[in-house]
Amino acid sequence: MGRRSPFLASASWSPPCLPRLGGWLTDTFVWRAVFYINVPIGLIALLLAMGHLPRVPMKDPRPDWTGLALLVLAVGSLQFILDQGPTRDWFDSRFIQVFTVICLFSGAAFLMRGWGKPDNIVDLSLSRTGISPRVLSRARLTASPCSAPLRFCLS
């Protein structure tokens, strides 16, 4: 098995044990304890990563406030649309229509402004490599619950 054995071990004991651990945590403490259990794991991962990352001196960062504002507008208005849509009757509401326009224009402005900008708040040049159609079809197949027989045939 070699280097994959810790992963295989966790994959075999996780499904039967972790739901029981989550149930015990919510019964004994509060339901938030299920999320607090990730804090020590995250700290251990942070400490391990800090030991392996190279020390590179950082130059003076210049924040991209315009890009940040456009991103916050796009994602915030999208979140508002998805949250308030069912209660406000989706696009029959003028409020949802206005926030949809804000979301579309701020998202398009963020993408058009930041695509060729090297110091954008999100490095959009990472998406230039593209995603192959095979990866996309595999992602769609694994996301669809009705595609189990097809996934079995393609695996």
112: exposed, middle or buried (C-beta count within 10 Å: 0-12, 13-18, 19+)? exposed
pLDDT of res. 102? 95
Share of the chain above pLDDT 90, in %: 19
What six digits make up the tokens of 1?
């098995």
Q: How confident is the model at residue 16 (pLDDT cuts 50, 70, 90)?
A: confident
Q: pLDDT by residue (tens digit) across 126-143?
A: 665 555 555 555 555 445
CB 69 within 8 A of CB 107: no
Short-list 39, 35, 34, 8, CA closest to 21: 34
Residue with tokens 């224009």: 105
Q: pLDDT by residue (tens digit) across 59-96?
A: 777 788 888 999 999 999 999 999 988 888 888 889 99
pLDDT of res. 77? 94
Residue 150: pLDDT above 50? no
For the chain, which residues make up each domain, given as ranges?
A: 10-52, 65-125
CB 140 within 8 A of CB 154: no
pLDDT of res. 104? 94
Listed range (3-7, 40-44, 73-77) with the worst mean pLDDT: 3-7
